[in-house]
């Protein structure tokens, strides 16, 4: 597991000196293709209508089904996603999509409201620093 990395974007230059490339913090990547157990349990509890649908018995597929049922018909906010253990020991669902439009953000909020979970949005991602967002979904305290 990577604890901390640095990414140098050759296309971006510091304004103070036009020759110095900008460096960006790169957070640790999630375990791609995995959904934390707390999230799949919560989906099964709050969305029993999905039983029998594609993905009911698998983690990441169930997340896609739940997102679809909350209005995200293309799974736009779920990209380069998986499970990550946070510094405080909690498991989080992390997704690193490319920039999102209003409809995808509304679908993400509907997903979080329906499952009573929190989402934080970060600028630094591990998949493609400087181009992807980082969404961290966790259980409410």
* pLDDT 10s digits, 112-137: 999 999 999 998 899 888 789 999 99
Q: Provide the token pair at 79.
A: 């990209």
The structural domain count of the chain equals 1
User: Rounded to the nearest 5 degrees, what angle is found at the Cα of 80, between the Cα atoms of 74 and 81?
Assistant: 90
Which is nearest to 9 in space by CA: 25, 28, 26, 22? 22
Structural domain contains residue 1? no
- How would residue 9 be classed by pLDDT, with cut points 50, 70 and 90? low
Would 66 be classed as within a structural domain?
Answer: yes
Evaluate whether 115 touches 43 at the Cβ level (below 8 Å): yes
Instruction: Name the residue range of residue 81's domain.
Output: 27-139
pTM of the model: 0.82
Place of tokens 């989906």: 43
Q: Model confidence at 21, in pLDDT bands (50, 70, 90)?
A: low
Whether residue 18 is contained in a domain is answered as: no
Query: Considering the domain boundaries, does residue 4 fall inside one?
Result: no
Q: What pLDDT was estimated at residue 72? A: 85
Beta bridge partners of 8: 23
Whole-angstrom distance, CA of residue 95 vs CA of residue 121: 10
| Percent of residues, the chain, with pLDDT higher than 90 | 55
């Amino acid at each position: 597991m990577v604890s901390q990395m640095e990414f140098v974007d050759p296309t971006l230059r510091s304004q103070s000196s036009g020759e110095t490339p900008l460096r960006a913090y790169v957070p640790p990547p999630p375990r791609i293709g995995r959904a934390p157990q707390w999230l799949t349990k919560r989906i099964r509890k709050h969305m029993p209508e999905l039983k029998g649908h594609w993905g009911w018995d698998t983690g990441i597929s169930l997340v896609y089904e739940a997102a679809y049922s909350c209005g995200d018909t293309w799974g736009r906010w779920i990209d380069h996603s998986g499970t990550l253990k946070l510094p405080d020991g909690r498991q989080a669902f992390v997704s690193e999509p490319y920039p999102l439009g209003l409809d995808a953000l509304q679908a993400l909020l509907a997903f979080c409201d329906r499952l009573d979970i929190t989402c934080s949005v970060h600028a630094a991602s591990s998949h493609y620093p400087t181009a992807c967002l980082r969404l961290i979904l966790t259980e409410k305290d």
